[in-house]
Structure 1
C-alpha cells in the first residue's frame, strides 16, 4: 500500500473545502462531516459562543479512536484570542483511494511552507499566502490564478499552483461614492490608475494588493490600514474613501456606504505541489482531488 501525504490547514474554510472535495471524490462524506462539525464546535467553544462538557483534554480524548486506524486525529494549539486558550484542531486522517493507494491528510499551520521545505509532495493552502510569499511583483496587474505560476521564480521555490477548489471569495475594489464621482471612472483598475492619495488595505495583504493592482497603478498611492477603533476593514475603507478587501456578497461594504467595484483577484483554496517530491502516486492523488469539474489544471512554468 502506497501512502501519499498531503499538507492541509488545521482549521477554517480552506480545510473545510478540502474535506468537501474529498467527500465528493473519495466517498467519505461521513468522515468529512464529522471533522467539520467537530472543528466548528471547538471554534464556538473557544470564542465563548458554546458551552462545553468537560475540559479540553477530556474532549480531545473523547474524539480519539485508537481502535480505528482511519479515524481522524486532533491536536491542541494556542489560540490567539485573549488569554490564549488551547483550541482543538485537526491533526491527520488516512483515506483509502483504491486497493493499493491511500492519502494521508496532515495538518500544518502553514501548508505551503511545509511543501517549500520538501516535507510533502502535495498540499492545500490559501492562494493569498502563495502570492504574499513568492509571486513576483510587476508593473502589470495579476488578475487570474492561471497567471500565477508564470510569476514564480524557479530559483526561489519548487512549489507550483495546480488548481483552485472554487471556494471563492474576492479581493474587491471598494469605493465611496464621492471618490467615484471625483474621478468619473468605472470602478475598475482604471480608477486605481487615475487615483492618487490614501488607499486603505489590510496590512496582511499589502504585497498581494501590489501584485493584483500592478506596481504602475499604485504609483502615487499611500497605503493606510485599519485600526482597532474602526471595528472592521470596511469602516476603515469608508473613512479613507477607497481600498481593497475581501467580499462575498458585498453587504457589509454597502452598509458602510461603499460601492463594490471590480473583483480584482480570487481568494480560494488551491492545490499546490512540490515538483521534486511528486511521484506517480502523488499525481494520482492530485487527479482525484482536482476533478474535471474544477477545470483545467494550471501549467507549471
Structure 2
C-alpha cells in the first residue's frame, strides 16, 4: 500500500488558502473541489465569528454538518477566537487528497512550523514571517528575500528549511511621511542606514525587522509601537517612519504616507524537515515546487 504523506498546514486564514490553492493546482479536479469546499466553509464561518453573518444552527451543529470524515473528506474542529467574548470558531482539522497518484493527508496545526521543528512531520506549510521570528540568525547585513533565508538558519538549531514560496505575497514595506525624506532621497534600506530616530513597527515583528534590515542598518534607530486601538498606518504617520504590511498601500497613502522599498515578502512557504525526508515526501515536494519561480538557497553558509 502506498504510504500516505502527512503535511502540517495552518488551520485558517490566508496561509491555509494559499496551501489549498497550491494543492488544487497540482492535484487535479478532486483536489480543486476539496480546496473550494474548505475555503468556502471557512469564509462562511469567519463571517459568522466576525458578526458579518448569521446562522440558524449552533456551532456544534455546523461543525457536524461541515465535516465529512468518510472517504477522507474534510474534517473541522473548534478553537477559541481572540475576539471579544472569545467565541468558538470552526477551523480546518484534516482532509485527504491525491497528488500524482500519491495519498496526502493535510493535518491542521496551530503552528505548523513548530510541528516540523519537533519532528512530527517531514513537510508543512506556514508563514515565512515565523521562520524569521524564530530561527533566522541576526547579522550586520539584512535578508533581502526568501532566497536568503536558509543560509541564515543554523543547522544546529533546526533541521527545517524553506523549500519554496507559494506566491500569496504581501510585503513588509518601508513607509514614511514625505517630510521625513530629504529631497531626492529614496525610501530604502540605505536611507534607514543613515537615519537616526523612531521607527514604528508592530511589536511582534521586532526580531523580523532586525533580521530583514540587519543590525548595522538599525544603529541609531529606536523602535516604537502603535498604542492600543491605534491603526498601524496612523502610528507610522505619527512617528514619521515605519515598516508595515502592504497589499496595495492604499491605507498608507490615505494617512499621507509615502511607500518605499518592499523589504521582505510575507509569504506562505513550503517547509521541509530534512531529517525526516523520505522518498514519498521528496516526490510530493517536487510536485508542489514544480513550476514555482521562487529561488531558495539550500543550507547555511
TM-score (norm 1): 0.96
**Match of residue 102 from structure 1:** 103
Aligned counterparts of 1:65 and 1:181: Cα–Cα separation in 2: 60
**Match of residue 32 from structure 2:** 29
How big is the alpha-carbon RMSD for the aligned residues of Structure 1 and Structure 2? 1.2
Structure 2 contact 147–294 (Cα < 8 Å) conserved: no
**Match of residue 226 from structure 2:** 226
**Match of residue 80 from structure 1:** 82
**Match of residue 199 from structure 1:** 199
Aligned counterparts of 2:229 and 2:3: Cα–Cα separation in 1: 53
**Deviation at 1:141?**
1.1
TM-score (norm 2): 0.96
**Match of residue 156 from structure 1:** 157
**Match of residue 190 from structure 1:** 190
Aligned length: 297
Work out which of the residue numbers 51, 56, 59 in structure 1 matches 2:59: 56
The question of 1:44 aligning with 2:43 is answered: no
Which structure 2 residues correspond to residues 1-301 of structure 1 after superposition, within 5 A? 1-27=2-28, 28-66=31-69, 68-99=70-101, 101-181=102-182, 185-230=185-230, 232-301=231-300
**Deviation at 1:21?**
0.8
For residue 74 of structure 1, give the secondary structure of its aligned residue in structure 2: strand
Query: 1:109-137: per-residue Cα shift (whole Å, max 9, x none)?
Result: 00000000000000000000000000000
Aligned counterparts of 2:180 and 2:174: Cα–Cα separation in 1: 12
For residue 24 of structure 1, give the secondary structure of its aligned residue in structure 2: helix
**Deviation at 1:65?**
2.4
Structure 2 contact 147–295 (Cα < 8 Å) conserved: no
| Structure 2 unmatched ranges of 5 or more | none
Q: Name the stretch that deviates more: 23-32 or 252-261.
A: 23-32
| Structure 1 unmatched ranges of 5 or more | none
**Deviation at 1:295?**
4.2
Aligned counterparts of 1:296 and 1:223: Cα–Cα separation in 2: 31
Aligned counterparts of 1:98 and 1:213: Cα–Cα separation in 2: 41
For residue 155 of structure 1, give the secondary structure of its aligned residue in structure 2: coil
**Deviation at 1:144?**
1.3
Aligned counterparts of 1:274 and 1:296: Cα–Cα separation in 2: 18
Query: 1:13-33: per-residue Cα shift (whole Å, max 9, x none)?
Result: 010001011111001211100
**Deviation at 1:294?**
3.4
**Deviation at 1:288?**
1.4
Aligned counterparts of 2:53 and 2:212: Cα–Cα separation in 1: 39
Aligned counterparts of 1:294 and 1:283: Cα–Cα separation in 2: 18
**Deviation at 1:210?**
0.5
**Deviation at 1:44?**
0.5
